[in-house]
Amino acid sequence: MNDSVEISIVLPVYNVIDYLDECIKSILRQSNINFELIVVDDGSTDGSQILCDRYSESDSRIKVIHQKNAGLSAARNAGLNHAKGKYITFIDSDDFVGEKYIEVLYKIIIESCADISMCDYMEVAQDTQISDVTFQEKNPIDKYYYNGKEAIANVYKNSSHGMEFVSWAKMYKLELFKSNGILFPEGKLHEDAFTTYKLFYASNKIAFVNAPLYFYRIRSGSIMTSEFTEKRLDMIQATREEYLFFRENRDFELMYLAFVDYLHKVKLILKMIFASAGDNREITRSVCKELDYDIEECKKSINIPVVKYVYYKGMAKFPRIFTSIR
């Protein structure tokens, strides 16, 4: 393989034998751009590890790393550490990409001198195959440009479908990770939420195309569709860290947007807790105590409207009542 690689594609793999072949094929169908595919097998036991090696033996662009099971973040970090490209993109191994995914993201990041390029995505059912998807490409593709703060605000305001704090459906300058010391937090669920906002904030320019070039598979039993466990509290921790990050940077506009998103996530998790069968009273008390503290600290920095302040305090003090209010 050519040592001068333009793009590194990182593919974490763990027990996805039913989807892996289709995912890798979708990557290898990409336009003739100089890329390396770093496949990180995170201790698979279902045959995925064997399929990874078979592909590596037949295509010199593919490098396989085998490691003991350590989670998605550890697999992505291993890919980051081995990446040789100027640019990097992450693809989840149960998803797949359109044949122009790399070409479009690479072209726009180069032409606009952006730090990040990103595209829209399409949700597909668990048993969807590439051949089932029909996509009429827009010509020309609509392009939008933001600075880091504008992009973050758009995420919180849900201004554009596809602009989210997820690591996939994006291409980054590798230096963005290296120069800011950013890695994915190991041992956490919702790892993207701990990381992506920092990459946005460190970016001078972000380019977005509203074409769905990434296909996100909705699987039953996956992390995102399972019921409440204590690991779900990572979602609250991630959004709370976002709020604290902007508060520490005295960026009060983004701080309040992050605070509202943090409240939304607390409400979502509390609803899951109340719907579960276990005794989670101590968890509920802990979450609400921390929320109550954060409400008062936020109030010291910005003027929270009285009606909203009362609602926020009510959720912290009487969570069963206030989480039922829309």
DSSP per residue over 73-131, as a string? HHHHHHHHHH--SSEEEE--TT-EE-TTHHHHHHHHHHHTT-SEEEEEEEEE-TT--GG
**Domains of the chain by start residue, with CATH:** 7-224 (3.90.550.10), 227-322 (no CATH)
Tell me the HSE value of 3 on the side-chain side, using a 13 A CA sphere: 0
pLDDT score of 222: 52
What is the identity of the amino acid at 226?
Answer: S
DSSP per residue over 277-320, as a string? SS--HHHHHHHHHHHHHHHHHHHHHS---HHHHHHHHHHHHSHH
Would you give per-residue pLDDT tens digits along the chain (326 residues)?
456 899 999 999 999 999 999 999 999 999 878 999 999 999 999 999 999 999 999 999 999 999 999 999 999 999 999 999 999 999 999 999 999 999 999 999 999 999 999 999 999 988 887 777 765 565 667 899 999 999 999 999 987 888 999 999 999 999 999 999 999 999 998 999 999 999 999 999 999 999 999 999 987 755 444 578 899 999 999 999 999 999 999 999 999 999 999 999 999 999 999 998 888 999 999 999 999 999 999 999 999 999 999 999 999 999 999 888 76
With 0.75 as the threshold, say if the pTM is over it: yes
DSSP per residue over 223-247, as a string? GGGS---GGGHHHHHHHHHHHHHHH
Q: Which residue in the block uniquely carries the two structure tokens 């590798």?
A: 174
Distance CA 145, CA 129 (A): 32
Q: Which residue in the block uniquely carries the two structure tokens 């600075």?
A: 147
pLDDT score of 1: 47
C-beta contacts of 239-244 below 8 A and 24+ residues apart: 239/193, 239/265, 240/290, 240/294, 241/194, 242/193, 242/197, 243/294, 243/298
pLDDT score of 9: 98
- For residues 116, 74, 127, 228, the Cα torsion angle rounded to the nearest 10 degrees is -100
pLDDT score of 4: 83
Q: Which residues contact 231 (CB under 8 A, 6 or more apart)?
A: 189
SS3 214: strand
